């Protein structure tokens, strides 16, 4: 496999918390899948986990080289956790079509968060 692209993003947790407060479900439903929302809401500080997932989606969009738009929407990406706790990206819709067209085989993602910031990086591998 070859590296198709890499991406990184850093998000201020307060920015995501403010958007959640101001726009509520409208914001959350536009950016996060129901599974992601369920996961985040079960956590002690949901805003940190939302911010990390937001950063992961931005990092993947950068690694794809598409940004968020026609080839990859917010809801085409879902951050999941494997049994080991390792995060993984599941693609659907236009994102899955783009990945297939470009022979993308793996997306490696790493998330981190602290009190004020969340960050993620992504490496996209293709055949």
Q: 49, 101, 103, 113: which is the annotated catalytic residue?
A: 113
User: H or E segment at 88?
Assistant: strand 87-91
90 is an active site residue? no
Query: Active site residue: 44, 49, 57, 62, which one?
Result: 62
- Catalytic residue flag (residue 116): no
Helix, strand or coil for residue 124? strand
Alpha helices in 1-92 (DSSP H): 13-31, 34-41, 46-64
Instruction: For residue 57, report the phi and psi dihedrals to the nearest 5 degrees.
Output: -65, -40
Residues annotated as catalytic (active site), given as ranges? 62, 113
């Amino acid at each position: 496999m070859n590296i198709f692209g890499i991406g990184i993003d850093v998000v201020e947790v307060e920015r995501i918390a403010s958007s959640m407060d101001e726009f509520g479900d409208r914001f959350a439903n536009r950016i996060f899948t129901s599974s992601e929302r369920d996961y985040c809401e079960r956590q002690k500080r949901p805003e940190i986990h939302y911010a990390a997932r937001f950063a992961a989606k931005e990092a993947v969009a950068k690694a794809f080289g598409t940004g968020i738009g026609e080839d990859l929407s917010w809801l085409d990406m879902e951050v999941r956790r494997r049994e080991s706790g390792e995060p993984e990206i599941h693609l659907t819709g236009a994102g899955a079509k783009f990945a297939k067209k470009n022979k993308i085989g793996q997306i490696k993602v790493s998330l981190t968060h602290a009190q004020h910031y969340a960050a993620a990086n992504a490496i996209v591998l293709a055949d």
